[in-house]
Structure 1
């Protein structure tokens, strides 16, 4: 097992490095790998430096934080509910965060990232967490009946997700055409407009909640064994479930605050990692994070280049892969 974990870690690390280099290289202005290295050490020309340091690197770093948050959130939600299909985008948590952020942006008088004030930018993650928590509370309340049934949770979550997205759509009908198109792109899950400011706002919160989840990794392992065994081992099941649920919801909200509703990223990474290293969360969470980082970088790079100058939201590209896998899991269950 240790050899398998080591090989998997090395392979995913190399693939992640390749994905980062491709994301820095490929675009409307292509930069060769040697020129990327020269630019990173300060020897690139003005255009190369601006392209990498001001445009592509901020987008890459925001994408990495988003992937870390969503994959860890998926691991937590699947462990807490003992449901392989639990994912923040599928069960409506991302939608709740998205609705809250759309309301905040519109209240500030603009729907364009470049015009968002510093105060609104600072408030976005916190407002997203409030929206996600309200959505999670509704889902938890509606699906709770002498415990959480995995099937009931998914069905209630899908219903709440559809309801919140309907509210967002109705809200968009009152916007101007430009604002409508921009918010639609963001809700679909896009890294368009990412900047260093976005990274600086979400990175500290992400580090805090990722640390808290990793600290509770053994509790997640115990909860996976079932409520009766966990109680017998001295775990306060409902208390720990609510705490971990809060961490998972907060991580999903942080990601949604800057990237919109990217669905299935919290499903693909954890599942692939679990197949490779097993259900132990101290091993699963880091590997799932790296796999999700690779997926989002590849998806975002293709999304902004394949139909250039038109940019497809990365969330749509990820969904193209995620939907068939979700259907496969549904059929297997």
Structure 2
């Protein structure tokens, strides 16, 4: 049973997170190369703005805001699941090669199939998932030992090695491509939010609608997996089966997100850690907070990045890395 004070603390934290998201959305709507006055945002959202105001808000700003928010939520939950599966607080889908696997699959499809990026929007998450799951299976097989089971340290080290190998593969693949396609892949590698139109939201949203409730449903299983293996087995948890199911869920979340945002790391590391520090390690409590914080962190980073250098800005992936790399070093030293 969860103590009522912890539940109250979680509800307050969720409320504050929602307020942060709402405030950042309002700031993001007004800022940009084509600024919109803040006293005109509400009227424009309700159809009482000028053509320019409504075009900027509905065609440019809102799709990008929703994409970053949804992708941040997916990456954060993916990181939380991976940390629970491996009992390793330093795991992130970007570190262990899942994002790179998705990127290689997208690169191959984009370079060698005669289809423009905008015409296979709804295939992108599926293509990314195939690449990411093949990568995850490879890492899992190398990190698993018959006698001792899954080795968290081995998983991280092998994942980093696989990630570097896949990044090199991507460079080789684009070395002979034409300039337009190279530009697209380069933006993807930098974590530039490139899927900034409404169809990309409809391509990403079904994955989150299915996978977020499923992950929350598995919260108690994650609690048991966080115990020692004998304790989890004693509680009746089929450890390997649950790990595989949750690994597939984490891979699907991460791959669907990076398919439209590019290679973004650290969100899946930072958001779960901050959530645990705020409401404790019980998955029922911290997973909803981590989801909201992940969405806010990516939205916040993208809002800052796209307004630092106009008109192109700094890719969200680089902004997140500037924040996340020092945090990772801090955790590494602490752990």
- Cross-structure match for 1:21: 26
- Cross-structure match for 2:297: 295
Alignment of 1:94 with 2:96, yes or no, is no
- Cross-structure match for 1:135: 135
| 2:203 maps to which of 201, 204, 212 | 201
Work out the CA distance in 2 between the residues paired with 1:283 and 1:270: 11
Work out the CA distance in 2 between the residues paired with 1:164 and 1:199: 27
- Cross-structure match for 1:39: 44
- Cross-structure match for 2:3: none
Work out the CA distance in 2 between the residues paired with 1:181 and 1:313: 13
Q: Could you list the runs of 5+ residues in structure 1 that have no partner in the other structure?
A: none
Work out the CA distance in 2 between the residues paired with 1:52 and 1:117: 21
What does 1:123-272 align with in structure 2 at a 5 Å threshold?
Answer: 123-145=123-145, 146-272=148-274
Work out the CA distance in 1 between the residues paired with 2:212 and 2:16: 23
User: Does the aligned pair in 2 maintain the 1:104–1:124 contact within 8 Å?
Assistant: no
Paired residue secondary structure (2:149): coil
Paired residue secondary structure (2:191): coil
User: Does the aligned pair in 1 maintain the 2:194–2:260 contact within 8 Å?
Assistant: no
- Cross-structure match for 1:5: 10
Alignment of 1:65 with 2:70, yes or no, is yes
**TM superposition shift of 1:7:** 2.5
What does 1:283-322 align with in structure 2 at a 5 Å threshold?
Answer: 283-322=285-324
User: Does the aligned pair in 2 maintain the 1:73–1:247 contact within 8 Å?
Assistant: yes
Work out the CA distance in 1 between the residues paired with 2:98 and 2:38: 39
Q: Give TM-score, length-normalised by structure 1.
A: 0.95
Work out the CA distance in 2 between the residues paired with 1:134 and 1:323: 27
User: Does the aligned pair in 2 maintain the 1:304–1:310 contact within 8 Å?
Assistant: yes
Alignment of 1:121 with 2:126, yes or no, is no
**263-272 or 138-147, larger mean C-alpha shift:** 138-147
Work out the CA distance in 2 between the residues paired with 1:33 and 1:223: 48
Work out the CA distance in 2 between the residues paired with 1:243 and 1:182: 33
Superposed CA offset, 1:40-87 (max 9, x none): 111111000010011110111111110111011011000010000111
Paired residue secondary structure (1:85): coil
**TM superposition shift of 1:193:** 4.2
User: Does the aligned pair in 2 maintain the 1:300–1:314 contact within 8 Å?
Assistant: yes
Q: Indicate the RMSD between aligned Cα atoms, in angstroms.
A: 1.3
Q: How many residues align?
A: 328
Paired residue secondary structure (1:109): coil
Superposed CA offset, 1:298-318 (max 9, x none): 111111110112322100100
Q: 1:121 to 1:269 in 2, by over 3 A?
A: same
Runs of 4+ in 1 over 2 A off after TM superposition: 1-4, 107-110, 115-118, 176-179
Work out the CA distance in 2 between the residues paired with 1:57 and 1:104: 28
Work out the CA distance in 2 between the residues paired with 1:323 and 1:150: 21
Work out the CA distance in 2 between the residues paired with 1:4 and 1:256: 32
